[in-house]
Amino acid sequence: MSTLQPAPAPAGAVTAPPRGPRPLPRWASVVLALAAGAGLLLSFPPYDLWWLAPVSVALLAAAAHRRRLRAGFGVGMLAGLVLFVPLLDWTHIAAGWLPWMLLSLAQAGYLGLLGLATAWLSPLVDRFRAAWPWVAGLLWVTQEALRDRAPFGGFPWGRLAFAAQDAPALRLAVLGGAPLVTFALAAAGGALVALAWQAVSSWRGRTPAVGDRDPRAWLGAAGFAVAAAALLAGPAFVPTAAPASQTRTVAIVQGNVPRLGLDFNAQRAAVLLNHVRATERLAAEVRAGGKPQPALVIWPENSSDIDPLRDQDAAQKIAGAANAIGVPILVGTVLRGDVPGEIRNAGVLWMPVTGPDLAQLYVKRHPVPFAEYMPMRPIARLVSTKVDLVQNMLAGSTPGVIRTEAATIGDVICFEVAYDGIVRDTVTGGAQILAVQTNNATFNEAEARQQLAMVRLRAVEHGREALMVSTVGVSAFAGPDGRVHASTGFNVDAVVLRDMRVGGPRTLATRLGQWPELALVALTLLVLAGAVPLRRRRRNSDMIDAQGKTEER
């Protein structure tokens, strides 16, 4: 009995690239996209299930693989909505539901582009299955690079790297910053989906020349399993920056914000008074021997919403606190401009006896669009009735390098901690410790904990001890190994002291700056362009298949 063999392809015939399993049914892609978005959400604080990040990358890659470009965009967009709508729900507390929805839609659109790019590269990963991890890592880094910058300076919330606060991959920040951490987690996800694809191909016997018992199939699966394990666990062996030898005692003051029974002006005065009184109580405990003398005190953003350079009463209160504690206080304040409605969000160093040192003043460089200043105000009025309540916050032009006798502080304000370059500029400018002054009073604890995860990454990235001080919490210190120390509660008043190590050598990530990210983005563009001939071959093959079926009929 003879066995029929397929006829060899004629010379010059178009040969299709190897195909993986068929595209998933539409319903299965939708389910995987929903699961991917939910997994990404749970990987971030306050849930902190970081291991779900690479799993979610794998699910989204599988959902978009071999789909049409429009369908790839759709599944990415769906995953993005499931992620960003709940992740950013704290924005509606201050801005209302419509701005919250618009921001979530805009952020989800970038995951839509990621899904589209995944679909575009399907012929490439079908032909070179070992490319799956690299493709996933490159696409996620590029998506985040774009989202971090556009529009209006970008909005980096929800980067994979910010889910890695308890993951071994966090240590990679010392080598290549947040982009390298994102790359590792996404590449691990790519290895997981390649492992699953390899297993399905082997089970179905669809891989060319590979049957159910062909050892090459299992060797390929083992290789992807090892790659995923190495990407997830391997970074644990990357050493963090060596700690500095000198220490300084730093106090952070979380004065809390009264919420009931006060009008706007009375509340501003009460917030300032809370921070003054907390500092004066600390001074009394120091004099009594109950607490060590700090070398520096740091107050949060908006601890004085009353401009102390123009309001004599506010200035006297801050001066009283500085004189009582006997050391400089870095005060988060709002400075009024000469033009009505113009303000600056600033950190100013207030010295005992002599008062504000205006040579050591940092003005926030990246005000938040639509919250601290209003682009396209006439159009924005159609979206929210609160538009005209937003004043025009002017951006600063110099990095937040505050020099004191105790230490040189790298100061950033609130959301600025999410931007790689703004933090790095303080370290290249000489910062020995990192300080994030923030005001979470109009948000919630989830937002504060998401922000603290960013502080932890920055401490590892630059090999500097860091702190976050908030009006209401969460306030904490973070070491260059990423560990959190002395974290406070939320909606409480607290004063925390810690001996912080100051200085240390610059890390590789600090020295390289944005070059690792630029290199990964450039590779992504090359890979996207390299898929063009493969897509043409796939299209020609589909046309030949369709023609053959027509002739058979």
* Count of Cβ atoms closer than 10 Å to residue 241 Cβ: 22
As a three-state string, the secondary structure of 180-205 is: HHHHHHHHHHHHHHHHHHHHHHHHHC
Q: Which of 144, 317, 372, 414 is catalytic?
A: 414
Q: How many whole angstroms separate alpha carbon 181 and alpha carbon 321?
A: 42
Assess whether 517 carries a catalytic annotation: no
Instruction: Say if residue 215's pLDDT is above 70.
Output: no
- Among the listed ranges 47-61, 208-222, 483-497, which one has the minimum average pLDDT value? 208-222
Structure confidence by residue, pLDDT tens digits, 315-348: 999 999 999 999 999 999 999 998 888 999 999 9
Share of the chain residues as helix, strand and coil, in percent rounded to the nearest 5: 50, 15, 35
Q: What is the pLDDT of residue 200?
A: 76
C-beta of residue 525 within 8 angstroms of C-beta of residue 192:
no
- CATH number assigned to the domain covering 247-366+399-503: 3.60.110.10
d(CA 526, CA 301): 43
d(CA 524, CA 197): 22
Q: Show me where the domains of the chain are located.
A: 26-239+514-552, 247-366+399-503
Q: With 60 as the cut, is the pLDDT of residue 465 above it?
A: yes
Instruction: Please give the pLDDT value at position 360.
Output: 97
Residues in the chain: 553
Please give the single-letter amino acid code of residue 146. L
Q: Which of 144, 317, 364, 517 is catalytic?
A: 364
pLDDT band for 534, please (50, 70, 90 cuts): confident
Q: What is the pLDDT of residues 361-404, one digit of tens each?
A: 999 999 998 888 877 667 666 666 666 666 789 999 999 999 99
- What's the CA gap between 317 and 277, in Å, rounded? 9
The reported pTM is 0.91
For the question of residue 414 being annotated catalytic, the response is: yes
How many whole angstroms separate alpha carbon 25 and alpha carbon 328? 64
Alpha-carbon distances, residue 416 vs 162, 447, 528 (angstroms): 14, 14, 31
364 belongs to the catalytic site:
yes
**Residue range 154-165: average pLDDT?**
97
Higher per-residue pLDDT: 453 or 538: 453
Beta strand residue intervals within 132-272, DSSP E: 247-254
Whole-number pLDDT of residue 203: 65
Question: Among the options 144, 301, 416, 447, which is catalytic?
Answer: 301
Strands 466-470 and 476-478, sheet pairing = antiparallel
Q: What is the pLDDT of residues 186-204, one digit of tens each?
A: 999 999 999 998 877 766 6
- Cα–Cα dist 159/107, whole Å: 11
CA 180 – CA 517 distance, rounded (Å): 8
Structure tokens at 457: 């990454």
- Residues 436, 11: Cα–Cα separation, whole Å: 67
